[in-house]
Structures are given as C-alpha cells and as structure tokens.
Amino acid sequence: MKILIIGASRGIGKALMEEALGDGVSVSVLARYPEKITMSHPALSIHRGDARELGSLMELSKGCDVICSCIGVPITFKPVDLFSTAAANYVSAVAANHGQKLIVITGIGAGDSKGHGGFLYDRIFNPLLLSAIYADKDREESIIKASSIDWLIVRPAGLTNGPRTGSYRVLTDLTGAASRRISRRDVADFILAQSADPTMFGKTPLITY
C-alpha cells in the first residue's frame, strides 16, 4: 500500500508518517516546507508543494492508494480558506485516480460533532479561538460530502502525544456522547486500519478514548 500524506511535518501527519513506515507502508509526503521533515527511510519520499495548488497534488497522487490530509493552521481570527480550497483539490485528484480513496482529518467541533467536546472546549475554547478555523473545516466537510469519491472524514477528540494503543472508541452516533482524549498515534492507527480495510468510508466518526 502507498499513501500520500499532506501535512506531515508535525502533529497527526508526522505520527501517521512514522507509524505507516513502521508498518511497511510506502509513504509520499507533500509539504510546503519539506526541510522541517528530518526523517529518512527507504520507503519515504518528500516533495515540496502546497495542497492549494492542484498541479502538484495531481502529480504526486498518481499511484497512491490513499490521500490523507492532516493539514492545520495556527490559531487565527482572520478568515481561513485553506481547508476548503484544499478539499476541492483533493476531490479533483481522487476523482482522476480510479480506486483511490481520501481520508481527511477535521476535528471535534466540525459538522454535527459540535457540542460534543466538553464544556470548556464547546463554550470557551472553540468559539473564542477556533471559530474561523472551524467555519472553514465545515466548508471542507461539505465539499467532500457532496462529491462522488470514496471519502472518510475523521474527527479526533482532544489530542495527546501518547502511544499507539489500538484501543479507542469510534463513534458515528453522537447521541449523548462527550469526547475525552485521543493520542495522535492512535488516530494514525485508525487511519492505517481504514486504509487497509475500508469499513467506515462515507462516514464522519469521532475518535476518542
């Protein structure tokens, strides 16, 4: 299996890159600043590019089984369009590659997961600090859901730097649900499991302990 990771210099993307290579998966990385990725591996190729530029994405996605977007932005109060612009490009790229799949990381608070992050997150942190980011993540999800490609939108709970345990909850019915935490490496575990055995595509699961 070969996956293309977008946003692998830190966070979930970095954890996914490391865990995938450890599992014997071939990995291509598209990064705006590839010099920030210091890992080297025979099955790893790193390329400079931007998810907002369709040309580089189309070229790199050829031959990949899965495109996985782990992009993020710093906290900002200015309008954000990175996620929605990239989403439109992902849809175009996957549509051009027969059999390819798309996995996108959004987060707790996107779409109908809003209100399931706990009191501090739902009432203070998200509306005061993340509203511009999540407005665009909502647009991102809408673009992907409206497409005819094979897609999976993953909404992790609050992230930690804990280990890969393989033991977590995957929630599609959020009735009464409140998220806890999830390690970046367990998010990576879920992505790799779904890449190999795609049972949750077309859904927007919340991943939490």
Structure token digits, residue 33: 């600043």
- For residue range 100-122, list pLDDT tens digits in order: 999 999 999 888 888 677 766 77
Q: What mean pLDDT do residues 48-70 have?
A: 95
Surface-to-core class of residue 156, CB atoms within 10 Å of its CB (0-12 exposed, 13-18 middle, 19+ buried): buried
What integer best gives the mean pLDDT of the chain? Answer: 93
| DSSP secondary structure, 20-59, as one string | HHHTT-EEEEEES-GGG-----TTEEEEE--TT-HHHHHH
Token pair belonging to 134:
């999540």
Q: Where are the domains of the chain?
A: 2-208
Q: What pTM value is reported for the model? A: 0.94
Percentage of the chain beyond pLDDT 90 is 83
Q: For the chain, where are the alpha helices, taking DSSP H only?
A: 11-22, 54-61, 82-96, 119-120, 126-129, 131-145, 184-196
**Domain 2-208: which topology?**
Rossmann fold (3.40.50)
Confidence of residue 128 (pLDDT cuts 50, 70, 90): low
